[in-house]
A and B are shown apart, each in its own frame.
Chain A
Amino acid sequence: MAPKKNAAAAAPVAPPTTQIPTTTTIPSSTPVKIPSRSSSQNQSPQQVAIGIWQNYLDKTPQRTKLIDVFMSFLVVVGVLQFVYCILAGNYPFNAFLSGFSATVGQFVLTASLRIQTNEENKAEFNSVSPERAFADYVFGSLILHFFCVNFIN
């Protein structure tokens, strides 16, 4: 649980998904495309965060931002459920689980959609067009919600 929560907790700072360096598949030696704003070597963490944020605002297309808003909404819902579970106990455990895993699953599926539709990842997914990615997303979400509704009783 801990790693997931961690990723979720960091979400408000920057959108919590992966975005992979453009050129290589092996990320060990990444020739990172250096963003225009943040150039100098030694920066304070605050500057770095601001730089990332500005960069994000500038570079990200409108649609991806929409996805990110949805994802942060999911994170908020998930965290709320979790907090409520801690405060009030987990008596109908299946209900908590289906609610919580609905948000987690939807978050993960949306993240997948975001990755697949990202222009920078074109090389990775040469067989998945954005339309196909969206259809996959719908398919996965339908299954997810069927299971969640079935599990919540």
Chain B
Amino acid sequence: MVAKTQEPFFQGSTGKNSRGVLRIVILCLIAGAAIASRLFSVIRFESIIHEFDPWFNFRATKYLVSHGFYDFWDWFDDRTWHPLGRVTGGTLYPGLMVTSGVIYHALRALTIPVDIRNICVLLAPGFSGLTAFATYLFTNEMSTSPSAGLLAAIFMGIAPGYISRSVAGSYDNEAIAIFLLVFTFYLWIKAIKLGSAFWGALCALFYGYMVSAWGGYVFITNLIPLHVFVLVCMGRFSPRVYVSYCTWYALGTLASMQIPFVGFLPIRSSEHMSALGVFGLLQLVGFVEFVRSGVPSKQFATLLRGFVLAVFAISFGGLVLLTVSGVIAPWTGRFYSLWDTGYAKIHIPIIASVSEHQPTAWPAYFFDLNLLIWLFPAGVYLCFLKLADEQVFVVVYAILASYFSGVMVRLMLTLTPIVCVAAALALSNILDTYLTFKSPEEPTQATAADGSTNGATKKAAKQEELRSMRQPLVGIYAAFSKISVVTAMTTYLLIFVLHCTWVTSNAYSSPSVVLASRMPDGSQHIIDDYREAYQWLRQNTKEDAKIMSWWDYGYQIGGMADRPTLVDNNTWNNTHIATVGKAMSSREEVSYPIMRQHEVDYVLVVFGGLLGYSGDDINKFLWMVRIAEGIWPDEVKERDFFTERGEYRVDDGATQTMKDSLMYKMSYYNYNSLFPPGQAQDRVRGVKMPEVGPVLNTVEEAFTSENWIIRIYKVKDLDNVGRDHASAASFERGNKKKKTTKKRGPKVLRVE
């Protein structure tokens, strides 16, 4: 604790100034560390967009920058979801794109022309610096200790739980959303502490910005009402609560409704009903408090309280009734699966198929948060000790976010801020206790000393036998204990920095577009098949050639190859995805009409068998089957893809359905030719492939990348003389019909 040191440098007004300077320097260094630790991937590889989703954001940002804001706002994208198209302006959160568009134009105006790609790549690191600052402000509201805010800022700056979603190149909504989340919470705490409508309105504005940036705004709309509700239940209703909440709700709801994607949701869907309910409850409680202040009798006051409870119960029942009758939309599947964790797996395979939607394992907590995770409960406990309005918020947030992060890996992200704050509170408490040079006065054992403190203590001393009760001032006297504890804490903090850097460097800084591997001599070998294939598509196909692939690659094809796709990562139309799944998992004769109907020109599959790249389409194949089965249960059956003993095999023992499926054929087409006869090996599944490879009739191989990761097939046109493709192909191969077939087949009547 700097303030209590003895040096004159830190005393008085000069001390205040130098502390301020120190604080600014520390914050700048924290921002620098936050940005620098996110640049591993840019320095190692290159400045590109990484995952799947960011490619769409990048494409939308390019559209915004080149066409202007109004065109972007009502942009109908006819290059995705091919026959349908996508009303992009009404189905995306525009906050991210608009932010980087504003930065782009601001830099232009300052005559620093920066490529829009670089702005998109470096947006997340830039905003992580701001997040650290917002965490500093937020924690300062919680604690009077001068070190708590700074500790929270550095934790937030380098904690891997947040870095995982905000490395350079991950141009995703979370990049700016976490900053907005923490800053909105800061403004909310400020509003509820001061009871000021101004801060409430600011909070609403930033809440509106948050709504425009990320679908996770639902977390805020439920957390703030929950905080207020807990306060009311604790009997802490005050005019400050009324002013701040009502201002926030009235303005924030209107602000959120301005976003076309959100629209009328804040009054129509169940996720937002808690905010509305608490708004109504506050009006009621406020009114009753007003009446009660003018009423003398005690019975009447209890009557009023009963009135509040009754109205609350009735309106709650009304809400439930409205939800059941369908006026208010029930929970969406994605949200509902947070409560009923088995729901998605049974009913909506497309939600369960995403790897981020799985429950979190224990090591993930330690991996992402290292020492913060065991300081976290201590910090929450400290909040219980001093339970003011803002501490209640920390407690509520901590409980809710811990639960959600346990259900879904992805929500670790919303847990990280509160873990950083709570850990900083606990750690600063320890440091404040052990870093004071001045020892407290040694209490003498004599009764005279006891008497000199005051009478009340003496009285207590007689009643209570505990020593700690007799001497309420507990202090640390020996220098040794101070030094040892502080040294231990410093060591932990240094290890924390090491851990964070190691995790960031090894786990979270690899672009999924480029696969890196090490040669035996330590040099880096880069496998760049994705871009090779996408570039081939971009240069060697027609401008409007439709590409069919599984939905994972939709955004990347749209972004890098610039070709229309059938389905993409925005999974708004389950049936359309199931159509693609059916085409991939059926026999060629079934798939070909589907592909013709959808005007597919090329089919793209990802195959990792040669390289041992496990995230390929054969491993995702079962999800395609399941999703297709959900729509056409009697045409696609998951059971058929397993052997008699229930194994999922691709080698000789594979079922006939598996061998006939389009996906299997396209993946292993000509794969035998790479190996000496009889030795074809699939390195992902670790099995020997059958002697004879599959035969393709309706599609032909158009491109295969260097390491066979991406294979592109061209859909053949209809046969010139009207044969079906199988017989045409067998004719081409020269399989002559037996001469002896004089016997005519059963004749059919010509109708025309």
- Name A residues whose Cβ lies closer than 8 Å to a Cβ of B: 1-4, 6-7, 10, 14-21, 25-28, 30, 32-35, 38-39, 41-43, 48, 51-52, 55-56, 93-94, 97-98, 101, 104-105, 108-109, 111-113, 115-116, 121, 124-125, 127-128, 132-133, 135-137, 139-140, 143-144, 147-148, 150-151
Contacts and interface: CB of A to CB of B under 8 A. Distances in A.
Contact of B254 (A1, A10, A151): A151
Contacts of A52: 291, 294-295
A121 to B, nearest CB: 5
A101 B294 contact: no
Given A1-B276, A4-B279, A14 B257 contact: no
A127 B292 CA distance: 26
B73 interface: no
24 contacts: A2-B314, A3-B283, A3-B312, A7-B283, A18-B285, A18-B290, A19-B289, A19-B290, A20-B290, A26-B236, A27-B238, A30-B292, A34-B296, A38-B295, A111-B286, A115-B243, A125-B196, A125-B239, A135-B198, A136-B201, A139-B201, A143-B201, A147-B258, A151-B257
A125 B311 CA distance: 29
Interface in B113-151: none
B296 A35 contact: yes
Given A20-B289, A26-B235, 11 more contacts: A2-B314, A17-B287, A35-B294, A35-B296, A38-B296, A56-B294, A97-B267, A132-B198, A136-B196, A144-B254, A147-B254
Given A4-B280, A18-B290, A128-B196, A144 B235 contact: no
Contacts of B586: none
Contacts of A135: 198
A34 B198 CA distance: 34
Interface string B271-313: 0000011011101111101111111110011000000000110
Given A1-B276, A108-B246, A135-B198, A101 B295 contact: no
Contacts of B286: 7, 17-18, 111
Nearest to B278: A3
Given A20-B239, A128-B194, A128-B196, A32 B293 contact: yes
Interface of B: 194-198, 200-201, 204-205, 235-240, 242-243, 246-247, 249-251, 253-255, 257-258, 264, 267, 276-277, 279-281, 283-287, 289-297, 300-301, 311-312, 314-315, 318
Given A3-B312, A109-B250, A124-B239, A14 B291 contact: yes
Nearest to B307: A6
Contacts of A27: 235, 237-238, 289, 292
Nearest to B253: A101
B243 A116 contact: yes
A143 B198 CA distance: 11
Contacts of A111: 242, 246, 286
A140 B284 contact: no
B296 A105 contact: no
A108 B250 contact: yes
The winner among A15, A18, A137 for most chain B CB atoms within 10 A is: A18
Contacts of B200: 140
Contacts of A139: 197-198, 201
A121 B253 CA distance: 27
Contact of B196 (A109, A127, A150): A127
A117 B442 CA distance: 50
Given A26-B236, A27-B237, A151-B257, A144 B296 contact: no
A137 B264 CA distance: 26
A112 B254 CA distance: 18
A144 B289 contact: no
The winner among B204, B247, B284 for most chain A CB atoms within 10 A is: B247
B336 to A, nearest CB: 23
Nearest to A3: B280
Contacts of B247: 108-109, 112, 140
The winner among B200, B246, B284, B293 for most chain A CB atoms within 10 A is: B293
The 3 closest A-B pairs by CB, nearest first: A3-B280, A18-B286, A2-B315
A93 B264 contact: yes
B235 A97 contact: no
Contacts of B312: 3
Nearest to B289: A18
Contacts of A113: 197
Given A26-B235, A30-B292, A48-B295, A2 B318 contact: yes
A142 B483 CA distance: 56
A148 B253 CA distance: 11
Nearest to B316: A2
A104 B195 CA distance: 20
A101 B300 CA distance: 33
Contacts of B267: 97
Given A4-B283, A112-B243, A136-B201, A125 B195 contact: yes
Given A6-B284, A105-B250, A113-B197, A41 B296 contact: yes
Nearest to B268: A93
A104 B254 CA distance: 11
A147 B204 CA distance: 12
B194 A2 contact: no
Nearest to B298: A41
A85 B253 CA distance: 20
The winner among B200, B281, B297 for most chain A CB atoms within 10 A is: B297
Contacts of A55: 294
A127 B201 contact: no
Contacts of B287: 7, 10, 16-18
B196 A101 contact: no
A25 B238 contact: yes
Contacts of A105: 250-251, 254
Contacts of A41: 296-297
The winner among B198, B236, B255 for most chain A CB atoms within 10 A is: B198
Nearest to A40: B296
Contacts of B255: 143, 147
B242 A112 contact: yes
A35 B277 CA distance: 33
Nearest to B288: A18
Nearest to A22: B293
Contacts of A127: 194, 196
B44 to A, nearest CB: 45
Contacts of A10: 287
The winner among B195, B242, B253, B312 for most chain A CB atoms within 10 A is: B195
A26 B287 CA distance: 16
B654 to A, nearest CB: 55
A30 B198 CA distance: 29
Contact of A151 (B237, B258, B318): B258
Contacts of A97: 257, 264, 267
A7 B284 contact: yes
Nearest to B254: A147
A108 B244 CA distance: 10
Contacts of A56: 294
A121 B239 contact: yes
A27 B302 CA distance: 12
Contacts of B297: 41-43, 48
Given A20-B239, A42-B297, A143-B251, A136 B197 contact: yes
